Structure 1
Amino acid sequence: MLRIWTTRRLASQCLIPWRMFPTTLISTRNSSIGILHDTLDRNSDSYTRNSKVMDELVSQLHSHILKVMEGGGPEAVKRHRSRNKLLPRERIDHLIDPGSSFFELCQLAGHELYQESLPSGGIVIGIGIIHKRLCMLVANDPTVKGGSYFPITVKKHLRAQEIAAQCKLPCIYLVDSGGAFLPKQAEVFPDKENFGRIFYNQAVMSSESIPQIALVLGSCTAGGAYIPAMADVSVMVKGNGTIFLAGPPLVKAATGEEVSAEDLGGATIHCRTSGVSDYFAHDELHALAIGRDIVKNLHMAGGPEVSGQTRADYKEPLYDVKELRTIAPTDLKQPFDVRSIIARILDGSEFDEFKKLHL
């Protein structure tokens, strides 16, 4: 068998990691394919000229990639960090397995497409490994126009979902977006392959048991609010994570009521009252750790893993199983803590409680 590899590598001086990804297998058994003879003249003028021009083009490509990886510029990055927030690629680095690489896609989307600079289309997408499972990661870049969606941003997001659907990859959305970029909203919504398609894809993939996971790390306003709301599981960060269709300024303009972003749509309100969010995170690192645990605990029919894993020997519950018969009261009207039963059934009594704070 001949294994064909796709390689991703930048210049040797670049610090961006590269990795080889197997893409397909082709059988060479009983093959009658002949061997091509090399006709390249290494002493010709065209050889030297082509080599020089290509080196310049590759150098330009590397420069463009390094430029877009800086995000929205020093001032935007400084403002972002002042809110105790990580940059999108830093978030991804914390999410994927240590020592593994992130295979970023469509890095130059939006390059010189608009009058406004739009590094990487304002969104970072790619494939990463989390607990040995390949996942599609979609991270808004709030340093670029507040993470808002231009038409090319929508196309890039849809491309990520298309790949995830075809390859059955769990989708993890690192949400920090102000929704559609209003000056171009007329170009964002007009057909079925635009903004609304994102939510349709989420619903379809969820129905096909392809997990949809949202980590709300910043503002989720207007269209951005639907992504965590339609996810199978969502995590919100205290203080920074918000979900609402309209923020405090619009509420005040419409009703005269003054309300803080946290009271209007923060982690506490959505974890305790509305039930939109399932996990409450104290900071970004906590949210990313929860995201890793969610992927670890996924149960999927099939789904690609990087390498085979053998099941570890199961653990006995920490509590005496024989006590199960003593927990439920004989009076059916008397309440009891069902966790006492669960703790005597599960391996090692380990349990990741869902919607723990919801009343």
Structure 2
Amino acid sequence: MTVLASALDTKSPEYAANREAMLAKLTELDAEHTKALAGGGEKYVERHRRRGKLLARERIELLLDPDTPFLELSPLAGWGSDYTVGASLVTGIGVVEGVECLITANDPTVRGGASNPWSLRKALRANDIALANRLPCINLVESGGADLPSQKEIFIPGGAIFRDLTRLSAAGIPTIAVVFGNSTAGGAYVPGMSDHVIMVKERAKVFLGGPPLVKMATGEESDDESLGGAEMHARVSGLADYFAVDEPDALRQARRVVARLNHRKAYGDPGPAEPPKYSADELLGIVPGDLKTPFDPREVIARIVDASDFDEFKPMYGTSLTTGWATLHGYPVGVLANAQGVLFSAESQKAAQFIQLANQRDIPLLFLHNTTGYMVGSRYEQGGIIKHGAMMINAVSNSRVPHLSVLMGASYGAGHYGMCGRAYDPRFLFAWPSAKSAVMGPQQLAGVLSIVARQSAAAKGQPYDEEADAALRAMVEQQIESESLPVFLSGRLYDDGVIDPRDTRTVLGLCLSALHTAPYEGARGGFGVFRM
């Protein structure tokens, strides 16, 4: 066993300042999560309860096995937009009858659960996770369909929801729809394309066209029950496989459906794992408030991997990137963690080799981000930083083992790509409240624009307005700073959630368990051409 020694001084002023800054960010994060939990607000929550209905998260709680965790995904979807935080949809991974499932639940307290552009993206991300990890997909349905004022952003891409349901089923991944209320118009295809359908008596309404539309189109007089009620679909159309007398009964029946799926994980669960030697609470004081100040990622690794046991790979080469082997909740992982921010040629080559080794051994990879990107300058360009950085990105792109990413600090420029950012399809990607991500840092980007403007003025022989330059730089810095914050990026579904650093080990453990539902095999060759 190679236990990492910790040099973290928890009594130092630096640690105290870092911890205070992180706690302040966590307080702000809690306030944003509270908005998502509030749904449509007190008025609409109370109206929903007066109708004798459960809230979306209450339905999920009754569905799950008692005392098991629920890993909520994308809770801040829609943050910073005109739509409610959470985007009228709850998604996440939970255990039902011992089976890890991907669960989605419409929140009918937000505009009747209607789908908006952000709930669409959130639902599609959930489907991607279900498909990649072979997780049975349970939809708790109560939605008025598309939010019509935003139909131009929903209608055309929204067809992917139904495409995904059929592809999941074709891949042998079970899909279950539990209908608690409206599931109308295009939304009717959710139960229509699911493997198993449960509808609640006198509550479920599933039809392509409601009474007003039928009257306008055909002249027929009809009502909700005859067009799409639960009893009609159970007795006449056959769309409902199971008829529930109320919501708890529907969730009970959903659990029985899952119990009979005979859905098996590709890999058995590992045995008990020894916890880290150091307290997770100490993670709060590691990342500096100023991300220009580097920190040793081994202090993070020591607080998330089993027994703080870490066998480092190439510790004396490419020291701005820490790589090595560990286990996390019993699952083997290869870890790549930025140590000094900047990635040089040596770090890029080291990463490419390490990724190849992980693929040879079929070991998932964990990327811990704190990078300002690849080094620039004539010395480094002449030394081949482009081809070496491309080598690392090539390896990440063509690796076939599952990837997990956590943004701890900075994640700027092509370094974000090389460390398996969102565009490189990590199975899961989470951020700490201290994280920032953009094409480059705010000061650097503003400075580049200033230099270009100065050169343009000089080339035209025009005087340069220093006052306007200062105002432009301040505006750009403020814009990029706000757009690089984790809540902004999470609102746009560029991660799967912003998490408390203390929860990192638990979150990663849940992700590792979920991804081992699906078989995987590392690349044996199959990488693009490495420019040497």
Task: Please confirm whether the aligned pair reaches a TM-score higher than 0.5, indicating the same fold.
Answer: yes
Matched, 1:186 2:165: no
- Tell me how far apart the structure 1 counterparts of residues 261 and 9 of structure 2 sit (CA, whole Å): 52
- Tell me how far apart the structure 2 counterparts of residues 129 and 146 of structure 1 sit (CA, whole Å): 27
1:141-181: per-residue Cα shift (whole Å, max 9, x none)?
11111111111111111111111111111100001011111
What's the counterpart of residue 165 of structure 2?
A: 202
Task: Check whether the contact 2:10–2:16 (CA below 8 A) recurs between aligned residues.
Answer: no
User: Alpha carbons of 1:286 and 1:304: their partners in 2 closer, same or farther (altered >3 Å)?
Assistant: farther
Q: SS of the counterpart of 1:56?
A: helix
What's the counterpart of residue 212 of structure 1?
A: 175
Q: SS of the counterpart of 1:119?
A: coil
What's the counterpart of residue 239 of structure 2?
A: 276
- Tell me how far apart the structure 2 counterparts of residues 167 and 228 of structure 1 sit (CA, whole Å): 22
Equivalent residue runs for 1:279-290 within 5 Å: 279-290=242-253
Equivalent residue runs for 1:220-231 within 5 Å: 220-231=183-194
User: Alpha carbons of 1:54 and 1:237: their partners in 2 closer, same or farther (altered >3 Å)?
Assistant: same
Instruction: Give the counterpart of 1:263 among 206, 210, 226.
Output: 226
- Tell me how far apart the structure 2 counterparts of residues 200 and 303 of structure 1 sit (CA, whole Å): 25
**1:95 offset after TM fit, Å?**
0.5
Matched, 1:112 2:75: no
**1:306 offset after TM fit, Å?**
6.5
Q: SS of the counterpart of 1:243?
A: coil
- Tell me how far apart the structure 1 counterparts of residues 144 and 269 of structure 2 sit (CA, whole Å): 35
User: Alpha carbons of 1:131 and 1:284: their partners in 2 closer, same or farther (altered >3 Å)?
Assistant: same
Equivalent residue runs for 1:16-95 within 5 Å: 35=4, 38=7, 42-44=11-13, 46-95=14-63
- Tell me how far apart the structure 2 counterparts of residues 262 and 214 of structure 1 sit (CA, whole Å): 19
What's the counterpart of residue 477 of structure 2?
A: none
Task: Check whether the contact 1:169–1:304 (CA below 8 A) recurs between aligned residues.
Answer: no
Equivalent residue runs for 1:136-155 within 5 Å: 136-155=102-121
**1:305 offset after TM fit, Å?**
7.6
**1:66 offset after TM fit, Å?**
2.1
- Tell me how far apart the structure 2 counterparts of residues 306 and 85 of structure 1 sit (CA, whole Å): 37
Task: Check whether the contact 1:177–1:221 (CA below 8 A) recurs between aligned residues.
Answer: yes
Segment of structure 1 superposing worse, 46-55 or 84-93 = 46-55
- Tell me how far apart the structure 2 counterparts of residues 73 and 304 of structure 1 sit (CA, whole Å): 43
Task: Check whether the contact 2:104–2:138 (CA below 8 A) recurs between aligned residues.
Answer: yes
Task: Check whether the contact 2:207–2:227 (CA below 8 A) recurs between aligned residues.
Answer: yes
- Structure having the higher helix fraction is 2
The AA in structure 2 aligned to 1:201 is: D
The AA in structure 1 aligned to 2:36 is: V
**1:47 offset after TM fit, Å?**
4.2
Q: How many aligned residue pairs are there?
A: 271
Segment of structure 1 superposing worse, 152-161 or 181-190 = 181-190
RMSD of aligned C-alpha atoms? Answer: 2.2
Q: Which runs of 4+ in 1 moved over 4 A?
A: 34-37, 39-42, 301-308
**1:129 offset after TM fit, Å?**
0.7
- Tell me how far apart the structure 1 counterparts of residues 39 and 16 of structure 2 sit (CA, whole Å): 36
- Tell me how far apart the structure 1 counterparts of residues 77 and 249 of structure 2 sit (CA, whole Å): 31
**1:78 offset after TM fit, Å?**
1.5
Instruction: Give the counterpart of 1:234 among 164, 187, 197.
Output: 197
Task: Check whether the contact 1:179–1:222 (CA below 8 A) recurs between aligned residues.
Answer: yes
List alignment gaps of at least 5 residues for structure 2. 272-532
**Larger RCO, structure (CA 8 Å, separation 6 or more):** 2
TM-score (norm 1): 0.70
User: Alpha carbons of 1:106 and 1:238: their partners in 2 closer, same or farther (altered >3 Å)?
Assistant: same
User: Alpha carbons of 1:69 and 1:96: their partners in 2 closer, same or farther (altered >3 Å)?
Assistant: same
Q: SS of the counterpart of 1:276?
A: coil
Q: SS of the counterpart of 2:155?
A: coil
List alignment gaps of at least 5 residues for structure 1. 1-27, 309-359
- Tell me how far apart the structure 1 counterparts of residues 178 and 23 of structure 2 sit (CA, whole Å): 40
**1:251 offset after TM fit, Å?**
2.5
User: Alpha carbons of 1:305 and 1:76: their partners in 2 closer, same or farther (altered >3 Å)?
Assistant: farther
**1:51 offset after TM fit, Å?**
2.8
Task: Check whether the contact 1:169–1:303 (CA below 8 A) recurs between aligned residues.
Answer: no
Instruction: Give the counterpart of 2:263 among 280, 300, 303.
Output: 300
Task: Check whether the contact 1:134–1:306 (CA below 8 A) recurs between aligned residues.
Answer: no
The AA in structure 1 aligned to 2:115 is: Y
- Tell me how far apart the structure 2 counterparts of residues 304 and 222 of structure 1 sit (CA, whole Å): 40
**1:74 offset after TM fit, Å?**
1.1
- Tell me how far apart the structure 2 counterparts of residues 307 and 287 of structure 1 sit (CA, whole Å): 33
What's the counterpart of residue 341 of structure 1?
A: none
